[in-house]
Amino acid sequence: MTTSQTANTVIVLDFETTGLSPNQGDRAIEIGAVLIEQGEVVDRFQQLMNPGFRVSSFIERYTGITNNMLRTAPPCDEVMDQFADFIGDHNLVAHNASFDQRFLEAELDNIQRNYGGEFACSMLIARRLYPHAPNHKLGSLVEYKNIDNDGVFHRALADSEVTAKLWLLMLEDMDKRYQLSSPSFSLMQEVSRKAKAAVPGFLQRQAKC
DNA sequence: TGCCAGGCCCTCTTTAGGGCCTT
């Protein structure tokens, strides 16, 4: 895939997992993702996957994904192979991206595949843009910004959908606040990397360019 | 119910500690 093919696209993804750390043996149990092209969702991916062991009752309650649902799901390797094809080299976004990035890399490593694109974190950007939000959990930001949703949280596709809406809203707010014409993925990624105090000055310098 | 790990970021910091966020 060429740079020009991915320049105006981004994939927003979310994993549901058996726990917090692939280094501790945790595995993905669901992946959801939406492809945004020119500000519109144009494709979706959602799939449960069987991690090969029973998930805890906490995860069943937290996600609503039960062991019975996972019993008939295809194995992680099969799903992740399909998902690797879906993401290609698109730039990726996730809420608290370091978490999803760890699981993506671990699951792709299991099938000897890798991801060669870039990640940006909607949570870090939201902390810069909305410092007065009650907190920066995904559900809280959805409520704080009045983002349309179906009331489903902690399921992969539902969380991806609202994270995508948050992402697009943050692009609009960057436009309005700093008069940046169509902030690029790389600019948003730069914002997510910069310390909170450095962001206003950085964006104002960008606006003058 | 919320812990686990890991990265980011703030501050009563920098020779460190602890909160936030993800499942």
Q: What is the pLDDT of residues A153-189, one digit of tens each?
A: 999 999 999 999 999 999 999 888 888 777 888 888 8
Q: What pLDDT was estimated at residue A209?
A: 64
**What pLDDT digit, counting tens, does each position of A134-147 carry?**
999 999 999 999 99
The whole model's pTM is what?
A: 0.92
**Predicted pLDDT of residue A50:** 97
Tell me if A4 is assigned to some domain.
no
Contact yes or no for A16/A48 (Cβ under 8 A): no
CA distance A154 to A15: 9
Q: What is the per-residue pLDDT for A176?
A: 87
Taking the CA of residue A93 and the C1' sugar atom of nucleotide B18, their distance in angstroms comes to 27
What is the extent of the structural domain holding A166? 10-208
> Residue A20, CA: closest nucleotide via C1'?
B23
> Residue A7's pLDDT is what?
58
Q: Would you tell me which residues have their CB within 7 A of strand B?
A: A 14-17, 19-21, 23-24, 56-59, 61-63, 95-96, 98-99, 102, 123-124, 127, 135-139, 154, 159, 192-197
What is the number of domains present in chain A? 1
pLDDT value at residue A88: 94
pLDDT at A202: 80
Nearest to A102 by CA among A33, A24, A184: A24
- The protein residue nearest B10 (Cα–C1') is A196
Q: What is the CATH number of the domain that holds A122?
A: 3.30.420.10
CA of A56 to C1' of B1 (A): 13
Q: Which nucleotide is nearest to A21 (CA to C1')?
A: B5
Question: From the CB of residue A157, how many other CB atoms can be counted at a distance below 10 Å?
Answer: 19
Q: Is residue A198 part of a domain?
A: yes
pLDDT reported for residue A184 = 86
Q: Which nucleotides of B are covered by protein (CB under 7 A)?
A: 1-10, 20-23
Q: With 0-12 CB in 10 A as exposed, 13-18 as middle and 19+ as buried, what is A135?
A: exposed
Closest-approach nucleotide to residue A59, Cα vs C1': B23
Nucleotide nearest to A133 (CA to C1'): B20
Low-confidence residues of chain A, pLDDT below 50? 1-5
Let me know if residue A5 belongs to a domain.
no
Nearest nucleotide (CA of A16 to C1') = B23
The predicted structure's pLDDT at residue A1: 44
Residue A55 lies in a domain: yes
Is residue A1 situated within a structural domain?
no
Distance in angstroms, CA of A2 to C1' of B19?
41
Order of strands, edge to edge, in the sheet holding A40-48? A40-48, A28-37, A9-17, A91-94, A119-121
As a rounded value in angstroms, the CA-to-C1' distance for A170 and B11 is 28
Burial of A124 (0-12, 13-18, 19+ CB in 10 A): buried
Distance CA A158, CA A46 (A): 10
| CA gap A145, A147 in Å, rounded | 5
